[in-house]
Structure 1
Amino acid sequence: MIHMQLAEIMSAPVVCVHANADVSEALRVMAEKNISSIVVVDNQRPIGILTERSLVKMACDDMAVADGVVGELMTTPVITATLEMDYHDGFQMLVTNRIRHLPIVNEDGTLVGVVTETDFLDGLGMEYYMEFKSVKDSSTCDVFTLDPSDMLIEAAQLMNHWKISCIVVQQDGVPIGIISERDMVQLIRDGVNFQTCPLERVMSQPVQTAIADMPLCDAAEIMKKSAIRRLVVVDEDGRLDGLLTKSDVLKGLQTRYTELLKEVIDKQTSQLVASQKIISEQAVLDHLLRTATNIAVVTMNLEYCITYFNPMAEKVFGHIVSVVLGKTAPDVLAMEGISPANFIKLMRITQKKGEYNFMLERHLKDGTYLYLESRISGIWDRSGDLVGYVLLSQDITERRHMQARIEYQATHDALTGLPNRTLLLDRLELSMERAKRHKMVGALLFIDLDHFKNINDSLGHPIGDGVLHEIARRLEGNLRSEDTVARLGGDEFVALLAEEENDWQTVAARAQAIAEKLNAAVLSPLFIKGHELHVSASVGVALFPHGNDSAADVLKHADTAMYRGKESGRNAIRFFSPRMQKAVQKRLEMQNAIRRALRESELTLHFAPQVNASGDLLGVEALLRWHTHERGMVPPAEFIPIAEECGLILQIGEWVLHNVCIHLKRWVQAGLLASPQRVAINISPKQLRQPNFFAKFRAILEEHGIDPSLLELEITENLLLTDIEDTANKMNQLKELGVLIAVDDFGTGYSSLSYIKRLPLDILKIDRSFVRDVNDDPNDAGIVDTIIAMARHMELDIIAEGVETREQLNFLIARDCNRFQGYYFSRPLPEDELLPLLKAGNVNPG
C-alpha cells in the first residue's frame, strides 16, 4: 500500500488568473500551456476554477464567450485540499466529487499547487497498474458518436448535456476522428462558428486506439507517453467497441484499492481467528496488529482488562503501553469522556450484536479535538467461545477538517471570508419563511462599487483585492450581528437585514438609513499599500416577502434597483418598487428639508394656553411649528415621526428648549408669567434616553438663567415601557431641580399601573381622542371617568386636552377635572398673539 502526502505529487507553480481577467486571455494561456484548467484567485486564494468543461457549457449558450470575463464562467465554489493530506484521502476527494483538478492550499488558504488525475496516476508507479486487468474491464461502452457531416454545435451540446469529455466521430461503425473538450476550447479561441462548422473539418485524427483485450497497464502507458487523456477502444476488426479515459483508469484504481484493502483485512481476520490463544500469544498478535499502522488496536480479556495496546493506540489515546496494560478499559476510557456506566452499556450491545460502532472525541490539552472512528467487537476462538474484545479506532480528524473546509469553501468567499451567494440565498429563504410566518418585513440591499474596474486596471488586482477586503470589513462593522453581509463576486456585496417589523414603511425607512450608513462607510478614504483611494457604491433595495417571490427573485429585484441607481448617476440608493421608492424619496426629501429648516431658522414656536374652568391662565404648552416657503405650514404629524427615525429630533429638541428659555426669560422679566404658572415642553423618547440628557438640560437652563420650577416636561406614555429604571432615575433628577413631569396623551399607550406608581409623576393629560366623543360615546366617557378617578387616587393633577365645546367642558367639570386645554379656549398662538393673554392672565372661552 502507498503512503504519501499530496505535497509529493502536486504540480507547482500553478497557472492562475483573476476573476476580472478576460476569457480571451485565459484561452490563450490554456492553449500555450496545454492545460485543461486555470485556478481563479483573489488575494492568492482560490475562489473558482475555469475548466474546459465550463467553457464548452458557455459556448452552447453564448458564442461570444471569449468576450466575457473569467468570473462569469468559473466553477465555484472550488474544492481544495492541504499539502499534508494523505494521498488516498485526496484521491477519494477527486473521485467522490467527480472532479479532475484539486487545488492545494497552505494553512492560510493561499494557493501553492494543484493535483490532477495525471498526477495521481503518475504518482502510483507502473507496478501498481500490474494489479489491473484488461482494457475492456475498465473502459465504457456508452460512447457518444456523431457523423463527420454533423455540426460542431451538436457535439458541444451533447458534451454539455451528458457531462462527457469527448465525442467520437465514426463512419460505418469505424472511428475516424475525435473531438474533445480541449479541441472545443481551441476552436472557441479561434472564433470558429459552431453552428456552421462540420466535425470533419476540425476533428482530431488519426484516432489513438487500444484493443479491448490489451492489458490496462499498457493502455495507461500509451496515454502517458502520448500525453493524451483517452483511447478509443476497438475490436479485432477495428470497429468501435468503447472508450477508455484517465477517469476510467482512476475508477478502476479506486475499485482495486478497495479490493486490496479488503484482502488485507480479511487476511488479518483469518489469522486472528485461526489463533486459538490470541490473548496469550502476544508475539503473534503483536506482529499482526503492528501492520495496521493507521489503526489503534486495543484488546481486552473477558474482565475488560487491557491485554494489548499497539503503537497507534499510544499515539491517539496519549497513554504509554506500560501504564495501561492490566488496567481495565472503563478506567482508561473514562479519561476520554466515556463513563464506566456507558462503557458497560456499549459492551452489552457488543455482546448482543457482536460489534458496536461509535465516534470517540478526545479533547486535547491545546483545546482541539481528535475524532476517532471506533468499533468494539468480540474475539472468538475456533470453538466459537468468546475469549476477549478488540477496540479498533482510526483517526479521522483530518477527514473531518477536510469536510468542514469543503463545507466552508462551498458557502464562503475565499477573499473576504464573507458568506457567498449559496449561503446568502439559504439565509434569505429562511428569513422569508420567518417573515411570512410572523407577518414581518425584511430588506435586502444589493451593493455594487462604482468604477471599481478602474482600480484593477490602473493599480493591479492585489490593490483591488485590498479594497474589497477593507470594504467587506466596513460593511460588516456597520451592521448588527443578526444581519448578513455576503459577497457575490467581483465588486458586488449584499446585506440581508433581518425581519423585525410588520410595517413596510418603517422597514423601508430603516433600509434607507442603513443604506446611507453603508454608503458613508464606503466613501471614507481607503489606504491600501501606500495608495489613498476613494470609491462609492450604488445600492438597490428590495423588501420581502412579496407574493410568491423566491429568494432568487428578491435578489434579482435588489440587483435591478441597484442598476437603476447606477443609471441615475451612481452613488445612489434605489428601491425596486416605484411606489416604495417614491415613499422613501419623500422621506429623504423631508429629512433634508428638516435639516434646512434647522439651518435657516424656519422653525417657530406656538403656545397653547392651559386654563381652569374660569379661564384663568395657568400656563402654556410650547408647540413646534414649521413654515416653509414652498409648502407653507407643515403639520407636526408629518415631520416629527421622520425626525424621530433619522435622529434629527435631538437637534430639534435642543432647539426647542433653547427657544422656550429665551421666551420664558423675556416674559418673566416683563412680569407676564410667574410661578405657579408654567411652560410645558414635549420631550422626545430619544432625548430622554440620551446618557447626558439631564446634564445638557440643566446646562441650558443655567445658560439662560431660568428657574426650573417654571417648566413642565411632557413625556409619552409608551416611554414608560422602556428601561423603567433609567427613566425613573432621570425623572427624579428633574424633580430635584423643581421641574414638573406630565404624561402626555394618557390612555393611548400600554403602560401598566405598576409602572406609573414607580415614577415621580405630577400630571396626567387626558388624550383628545377620548375628550372628543365624551358626550356621545359611553366607552370614552367611562375611560375619562376612570383616568380622573385614578389620578385623584394617586394625587395627580389632570389636564384635559382637545376641549372644543361647552358640553365637553361641563362633562369634565362635573367629574372634578379643573385644568383644560383646547380650541374652546384658544388655538395655539404665536408669541405676539399670546402676549395680550399673558398680560390679562385670563382667556375668554368660546
Structure 2
Amino acid sequence: IIANEELNFQNEEKEKRAAELIIANEELNFQNKEKEKRAAELVIANKELMIAATVFESQEGMLITDASNRIIRVNSAFASITGYSNEDVIGQKPSVLSSEKQSAGFFITMWDSINNTGAWQGEIYNTRKNGEIYPEYITITAVKDAQGIVTNYVETLTDITLIKASADKIISLAYYDVLTHLPNRSLLLDRLEQALTASAESGQRGAVLCIDLDHFKNLNDTLGHDMGDLLLKQVAERLIACIYTKDTIARIGGDEFVIILENLSDSAIEAAAETNNIIEKIAFTLSKPYQLNTHFYQSSSSIGATLFMGHELKSKELLKQADIAMYQSKGKGRNAITFFNSVMQDKITARVDIENELRVAIEQQQFQLHYQIQVDHIGRPFGAEALIRWPHPKRGLISPLSFIPVAEDTGLIITIGQWVLETACAQLNRWDKDELTRYLTLSVNVSAKQFFQTDFAAQVIATVRRYDINPTKLKLELTESMLVESIENFISTINTLKEIGIKISLDDFGTGYSSLQYLKKLGIYQLKIDQSFVRDIATDIHDQVIVRTIIAMAHSLDINVVVEGVETEEQRQVLLTIGCSHFQGYLFSKPVHIDEFEGLVRKL
C-alpha cells in the first residue's frame, strides 16, 4: 500500500512538472514572438530613419528648431542656399536670415497661421551670408507630441531666384518694348484703363499724347536701322525726364510714342494749359541734338493731344483722337502741337497769348488801379478797394477774370501783386497829404502765391516804410481758401504784419469751410461778406439769417464787417435792418479811375 501511494505521488509530481514545462514552453514561444516583432519594428524604424536622413539631405533647404524657435539643425542644401553652415546658425533664430523687406504685420499673419493651423507656406525675401537678398518659397510645420504640445518647427526652403527671373522675363516680353524697355501697347491700354478709373474717382482730368518723330524713315534709310534704334533709345530717355513718375510713357510701334498724363486740373481749360506746358517741354527736349555714335543728328516731333475725364470715352477712342491730332500736326508741316478739340486749341492759343502779353504788360507797366468806394450807414466814404485793370493797347480793357488765373499759374502774380502793393502805398502817401482823403483806408487783394512767399511780410513792411505811409490805413484782403494751405504760416505772417499796424481783411467770407474754426485765432480786423449772400437778400429769408448771424458773430469778436456787392437801395435797407453799417458795391460806385474816385469822395 505504501509503495502504491509512493508511486501515485511520483506520478502526480510528473504530471505537475509536465504542466509546468508546457507553461514554460508557451512563455518561451511568446518571448520569441516578441523578439521577432521588435526585430521587425527595428527594421522598419531603421528604414524610416534612412528615408528621413535622405529627405533631410534633399535638394530643398531644411532647418529644424526647438519649441522656442532656436535652430538645432540644418541640412547641407540650407548651407548651399544661404551660405550659413550648421555651426553658424545653431542656437540662432531663423530671423538671422531676415532681409527686413517684410513688415511686422507679415510675420504676425504668418505666426497666426502656424499657431492656428500648424503650418504656413509662401514667398519671402531672405538674406544670404554674403548680404545678397534673394526670394525663396518656404513651408513651416509645427511638430507636436502625443499631448498636442509643440516640440519642434520644421522649415523647408527653396531658392526661387531663377523662377522669379524667368517670370519677370516673361512679363517683360509680354508688356514691355524690347528696345526701349518702355510699356508696350498691351500695358498702355491697361494703364489707360486705370487712369480713367482714377480720374472718375478723383474728378481730375488727364490727357493722352501721341508723339511721332519727324522724318524718322529718312534716318533709317541713310544711316541704317542701328542708328534708328539708338535714336529711339535716347528719345525714350528724354521723354522719361519730361514727365512725372505717376505718368506713363509707351512705345507702341516704330517711332510712335504715347504718354498718359494724370492728376491734371478738374477744369478743362486749366488741364489743357498744363498739358500744353508739358508738350512744349517735350517738343523742346526732343529737338535738341542727338549724338548717334559718330553721327550728329537733329530731330523734331509732331504731337497730338486729347483730354479725358473719367470714362466719358473708351481707351481706344482716346488713342484714336490723339492719333488724329498727331496727324493734324504732321499736316501742318510737322514740328507742331495739336489738340484734338479745335475749340480747346483756340483757347490754349489765347491763353498762351495772354501769358506772353502779360510779360510785356509788366515790362511796359500797362496796368492801372481802379478804386471802388466803401461807405458807412449814412453814405459817408471811409475807404476803398484797389482793383487792378489792364487797358491793353490793342485789345482794350481786359477783364481780370481773363488774366489773373494765368498770372497765378505762371507765377507772374507775384510781380503783379508787388506792383499793386507799391501803387496802393504811393496813393496812400498822396492821400495823407490832403485833409479830405487822409482818413481813407485802402484795401489790396493778395494772392495765395504772393502771401506764402517766405519773405512776404518783410516785403510788405519794407514797402510801407519806403512810401512812408500810416500802416493802419493799409488793409490786405486775403481769402478763406488760404487757410487750407498752412494755417501756422498764415497766422505767423498775419501777426508779423499786425505788429506794425497793418489791418487784415478776410475776403469772400462765408464761401469757405475752415474760417469759423480759426476766426478767433486769426485776430483779423475785418470780414467781407460775399456778394452771393447779398444778391437775393431782399427776398430770401435764408440769406438774411446767414448775414445777420455772420454780423452778430463778428461783432461779438470785435471784428468789423463790410458787405460786398450791394447794387440796389432795397438791398441796402434790408442790410441796415439786420445790423450792417459798412457797404461796397455798384449802388455807390463801380471801380473807377483815381481822378473820378477822388471827385466822388469830395462830392460825398
| Structure 1 residue aligned with 2:596 | 833
The alignment status of 1:485 with 2:254, answered yes or no, reads no
Percent identity, please.
37
SS in 2 for 1:820: strand
Q: Supply the distance in 1 between the matched residues of 2:256 and 2:303 (Cα, whole angstroms).
A: 10
| Structure 2 residue aligned with 1:795 | 558
| Structure 2 residue aligned with 1:681 | 444
The alignment status of 1:748 with 2:517, answered yes or no, reads no
Q: Could you tell me whether the CA contact under 8 Å between 2:97 and 2:128 is conserved in 1?
A: no
2:251 maps to amino acid: R
Give, in angstroms, the shift of residue 832 of structure 1.
2.4
Q: Could you tell me whether the CA contact under 8 Å between 1:296 and 1:310 is conserved in 2?
A: yes
Label 1:479 to 1:668 Cα distance change in 2 as closer, same or farther (>3 A).
Answer: farther
Q: Supply the distance in 2 between the matched residues of 1:790 and 1:653 (Cα, whole angstroms).
A: 31
Give, in angstroms, the shift of residue 722 of structure 1.
2.1
| Structure 1 residue aligned with 2:165 | 401
Give, in angstroms, the shift of residue 808 of structure 1.
2.6
| Structure 2 residue aligned with 1:277 | 46
Q: Supply the distance in 2 between the matched residues of 1:694 and 1:459 (Cα, whole angstroms).
A: 60
Superposed, which structure 2 residues align to 1:144-543 within 5 Å?
277-278=46-47, 294-296=59-61, 311-321=76-86, 335=96, 345=114, 361-365=125-129, 366-372=131-137, 394-437=158-201, 440-451=204-215, 468-469=232-233, 471-499=235-263, 501-523=265-287, 535-543=299-307
- Residues 159-201 of structure 1: per-residue CA shift (max 9 Å, x gap): xxxxxxxxxxxxxxxxxxxxxxxxxxxxxxxxxxxxxxxxxxx
Q: Supply the distance in 1 between the matched residues of 2:316 and 2:512 (Cα, whole angstroms).
A: 41
Label 1:670 to 1:774 Cα distance change in 2 as closer, same or farther (>3 A).
Answer: same
SS in 2 for 1:493: strand
Q: Supply the distance in 1 between the matched residues of 2:586 and 2:172 (Cα, whole angstroms).
A: 67
The alignment status of 1:614 with 2:378, answered yes or no, reads yes
Label 1:463 to 1:777 Cα distance change in 2 as closer, same or farther (>3 A).
Answer: same
Q: Could you tell me whether the CA contact under 8 Å between 1:360 and 1:374 is conserved in 2?
A: no
The alignment status of 1:564 with 2:328, answered yes or no, reads yes
Q: Could you tell me whether the CA contact under 8 Å between 1:359 and 1:374 is conserved in 2?
A: no
Give, in angstroms, the shift of residue 682 of structure 1.
0.9
Which residue of the other structure, out of 627, 631, 637, is the alignment partner of 2:401? 637
| Structure 2 residue aligned with 1:813 | 576
Label 1:374 to 1:360 Cα distance change in 2 as closer, same or farther (>3 A).
Answer: farther
Q: Could you tell me whether the CA contact under 8 Å between 1:607 and 1:829 is conserved in 2?
A: yes
Q: Could you tell me whether the CA contact under 8 Å between 2:71 and 2:94 is conserved in 1?
A: no
Q: Supply the distance in 2 between the matched residues of 1:497 and 1:809 (Cα, whole angstroms).
A: 50
The alignment status of 1:574 with 2:338, answered yes or no, reads yes
1:692 maps to amino acid: D
Q: Could you tell me whether the CA contact under 8 Å between 2:136 and 2:157 is conserved in 1?
A: no
| Structure 2 residue aligned with 1:591 | 355
| Structure 1 residue aligned with 2:13 | none
2:319 maps to amino acid: L
Q: How many residues align?
A: 544
Q: Could you tell me whether the CA contact under 8 Å between 1:620 and 1:680 is conserved in 2?
A: yes
1:787 maps to amino acid: I
Q: Supply the distance in 2 between the matched residues of 1:443 and 1:695 (Cα, whole angstroms).
A: 41
| Structure 1 residue aligned with 2:414 | 650
Superposed, which structure 2 residues align to 1:80-159 within 5 Å?
none
Label 1:736 to 1:445 Cα distance change in 2 as closer, same or farther (>3 A).
Answer: farther
Q: Could you tell me whether the CA contact under 8 Å between 1:279 and 1:307 is conserved in 2?
A: no
SS in 2 for 1:602: coil
Q: Supply the distance in 1 between the matched residues of 2:579 and 2:112 (Cα, whole angstroms).
A: 80
The alignment status of 1:822 with 2:591, answered yes or no, reads no
SS in 2 for 1:690: coil
Q: Supply the distance in 1 between the matched residues of 2:127 and 2:520 (Cα, whole angstroms).
A: 55
Give, in angstroms, the shift of residue 758 of structure 1.
2.0
- Greater fraction helix: 2
Label 1:375 to 1:605 Cα distance change in 2 as closer, same or farther (>3 A).
Answer: closer
Label 1:389 to 1:342 Cα distance change in 2 as closer, same or farther (>3 A).
Answer: closer
| Structure 1 residue aligned with 2:494 | 731
| Structure 1 residue aligned with 2:147 | none
Gaps of 5+ in 1: 1-273, 351-355, 379-387
Label 1:830 to 1:570 Cα distance change in 2 as closer, same or farther (>3 A).
Answer: farther
Q: Supply the distance in 2 between the matched residues of 1:419 and 1:456 (Cα, whole angstroms).
A: 23
Could you tell me the TM-score, scaled by structure 2's length?
0.76
| Structure 2 residue aligned with 1:663 | 427
User: Computing the radius of gyration over CA atoms, which structure comes out larger, 1 or 2?
Assistant: 2
Q: Could you tell me whether the CA contact under 8 Å between 2:373 and 2:589 is conserved in 1?
A: yes
SS in 2 for 1:663: helix
Label 1:683 to 1:535 Cα distance change in 2 as closer, same or farther (>3 A).
Answer: farther
Q: Provide the alpha-carbon RMSD of the alignment.
A: 4.3
| Structure 1 residue aligned with 2:317 | 553
SS in 2 for 1:773: coil
Give, in angstroms, the shift of residue 796 of structure 1.
0.9
Give, in angstroms, the shift of residue 764 of structure 1.
0.8
Give, in angstroms, the shift of residue 789 of structure 1.
0.8
Give, in angstroms, the shift of residue 654 of structure 1.
2.6
The alignment status of 1:761 with 2:530, answered yes or no, reads no
Which residue of the other structure, out of 495, 520, 542, is the alignment partner of 1:779? 542
Give, in angstroms, the shift of residue 471 of structure 1.
4.6
Bigger RCO (CA 8 Å, 6+ sep): 2
- Residues 369-421 of structure 1: per-residue CA shift (max 9 Å, x gap): 2424669899xxxxxxxxx9998654332121221233234333445444333
Give, in angstroms, the shift of residue 447 of structure 1.
3.0
The alignment status of 1:722 with 2:485, answered yes or no, reads yes
Q: Supply the distance in 1 between the matched residues of 2:203 and 2:549 (Cα, whole angstroms).
A: 35
Give, in angstroms, the shift of residue 661 of structure 1.
3.3
Give, in angstroms, the shift of residue 740 of structure 1.
1.0
Give, in angstroms, the shift of residue 524 of structure 1.
5.7
SS in 1 for 2:583: coil
Q: Supply the distance in 1 between the matched residues of 2:338 and 2:503 (Cα, whole angstroms).
A: 46
Q: Supply the distance in 1 between the matched residues of 2:544 and 2:442 (Cα, whole angstroms).
A: 29
SS in 1 for 2:211: strand
Label 1:408 to 1:756 Cα distance change in 2 as closer, same or farther (>3 A).
Answer: farther
| Structure 2 residue aligned with 1:211 | none
Give, in angstroms, the shift of residue 718 of structure 1.
1.8
Gaps of 5+ in 2: 1-42, 99-106, 144-151
1:315 maps to amino acid: S
- Residues 437-491 of structure 1: per-residue CA shift (max 9 Å, x gap): 5555322222334445566667777776665555544443443332223333554
Q: Could you tell me whether the CA contact under 8 Å between 2:61 and 2:81 is conserved in 1?
A: yes
Could you tell me the TM-score, scaled by structure 1's length?
0.56
Give, in angstroms, the shift of residue 713 of structure 1.
0.9
Q: Supply the distance in 1 between the matched residues of 2:303 and 2:340 (Cα, whole angstroms).
A: 11
Label 1:470 to 1:728 Cα distance change in 2 as closer, same or farther (>3 A).
Answer: farther
Q: Supply the distance in 2 between the matched residues of 1:690 and 1:546 (Cα, whole angstroms).
A: 35
2:196 maps to amino acid: M
Give, in angstroms, the shift of residue 767 of structure 1.
1.9
